[in-house]
Amino acid sequence: MAGFTGIVILLLWLLQVVFLGTIHRNVRISEVKDIARRLASYTEAPITLESKAQKLANSKSVCIIAYRFDKNRATEMFSCDAAENCVIHSLEKGELISMHDKAKANGGKLLCYYSYDNEKNKYELTSEVSDGQSIVYSFIVKDARGNDMLFIINAYVAPVASTVRTLNYLLIIISITMITLSVILTLILSSSITKPITKINASAKELANGNYNAAFEGGSYREAEELSETLTYAASELSRVEKLRSELIANTTHDLRTPLTMITGYAELMRDLEGENTPENAAIIADEAKRMTSLVNDMLEISKLENGVAKANIEQFNLTEAVTAEIEKYQEFCRKDGYILRFEASESVVVKTDRTKITRALLNLVNNALTYTGTDKTVIVRQERYFNGEKDVLRYSVIDSGEGIPEDKLPLIWDRYYKVDSPHKRSAQGSGLGLSIVNKLMTLIGGRCGVLSSNGNGSIFWIEIDV
């Protein structure tokens, strides 16, 4: 701010004090030359020339004398006297006429300066240029008959010393005012810019220490306001993540504790009580351990998918054959428990996608369908290929005859750890991660998933990819 004020004052000083004389003189010279140009143009109408010249002389405070030369005889055409400290009206006629030759030798125009010599008490030609001088500009124009017309214009360049003194005085006042104002302005600006930043910084430190409710107050200007809004948003996101983290810990510890309690309980029972060391009890321990393994696997898989570690491994292969093979593996378990798992496909389709991820997603749905299907214990997997208006799409629908899902719960089932409260025995055993994994797998490979279901009418879970 001080630098800026300094530059403004320096500029004012240079223009108004140092160069004032030069600028004033140059302005006067260019005025005189402009008068000369106009006079030259007026010569085309000789009758009005004198009155126009008089007007010009009056308006610009200059003197003009014009001569016509006829066979080297000079006759005065007119003379206008409107300048202070006029030189040309105090010169001899011979001296004025001699300017004709000098101008002619100089290409038809001549600019010279006169200053008053106090000793000789008259104006003398000078080569030095300074204020308080008179400018005399002579120029020659041809009239209609080809005779020379000599115009001599005289303008006084007033001395600027007293003006400079006044301006100097004004400049001191301006400088003091500007410096005071700039100091005040700097103080106001710095306090209005730094104060909100300092406050925001203090709140940011609180946030770093774990206080997610730290209030970010913007302040008087837009950028600080935006910064505090961004930080408030960041704080709310951090608190959401923190909440999710604690929920995750709570959920996983809860889910792990149940099988662990069962395993410990049954193991102790078998160790301490004779007759309890039965294959049934051992099977319970094995089942619980398996459930825990699958839960841990699910948790690892979802964290990989969420962290972006999992990458799609795209290859070209026959998906219908791959699904047939996977379902074949399931058939054995199904037949053993009396379940019917049917795969319906009218054609064999080759696709480009991640084999493991898409079959994993489909089998998750098949698993759920087998868990929740109705008394007919039937699950149908149907492959359909259709054109959705833009692309060829391959869809796998997994259809069960179970209780279905209430409509209001449908959007929630894809969330992590969400389980629909149900008296169904096995639903309580799930991790609540299955559908969330399906959703993430399908997003990763650029596919989609969804569900059609209503209470009491079974469910159709589907996944699809572009062919």
**Residue numbers of the site for ligand ADP (CB under 6 A)?**
368-369, 372, 400, 402, 405, 413, 418-420, 422, 427, 430-436, 459, 461
Residue closest to ligand ADP, measured at CB: 430
Nearest-angstrom CA–CA distance, 39 and 396: 99
Task: Tell me the two tokens of residue 6.
Answer: 């300094």
Q: Which residues pair with 151 in a beta bridge?
A: 66, 139
Q: Is 281 left (phi over 0), alpha (psi -120 to 50) or beta?
A: alpha
- Measured over the CA atoms of residue 103, residue 104, residue 106 and residue 107, the dihedral's sign is positive
Q: What φ, ψ does residue 236 adopt, rounded to 5°?
A: -70, -35
134/459 with CB nearer ligand ADP: 459
Nearest-angstrom CA–CA distance, 45 and 20: 39
Min dist. Cβ of residue 325 to ligand ADP (A): 23
CA trace torsion 25, 29, 34, 37 (10° rounding): 180
Query: Which spans in 120-221 are helix H?
Result: 161-208
Min dist. Cβ of residue 430 to ligand ADP (A): 2
User: Do 436 and 461 form a contact (C-beta atoms < 8 A)?
Assistant: no
Min dist. Cβ of residue 291 to ligand ADP (A): 10
Min dist. Cβ of residue 263 to ligand ADP (A): 20
Min dist. Cβ of residue 200 to ligand ADP (A): 42
374/446 with CB nearer ligand ADP: 374
Min dist. Cβ of residue 431 to ligand ADP (A): 5
Min dist. Cβ of residue 436 to ligand ADP (A): 6
CA 259 to chain CA mean position, Å: 54
For residue 184, how many C-alpha atoms fall within 13 Å in the half-sphere facing its CB? 6
158/380 with CB nearer ligand ADP: 380
196/430 with CB nearer ligand ADP: 430
137/417 with CB nearer ligand ADP: 417
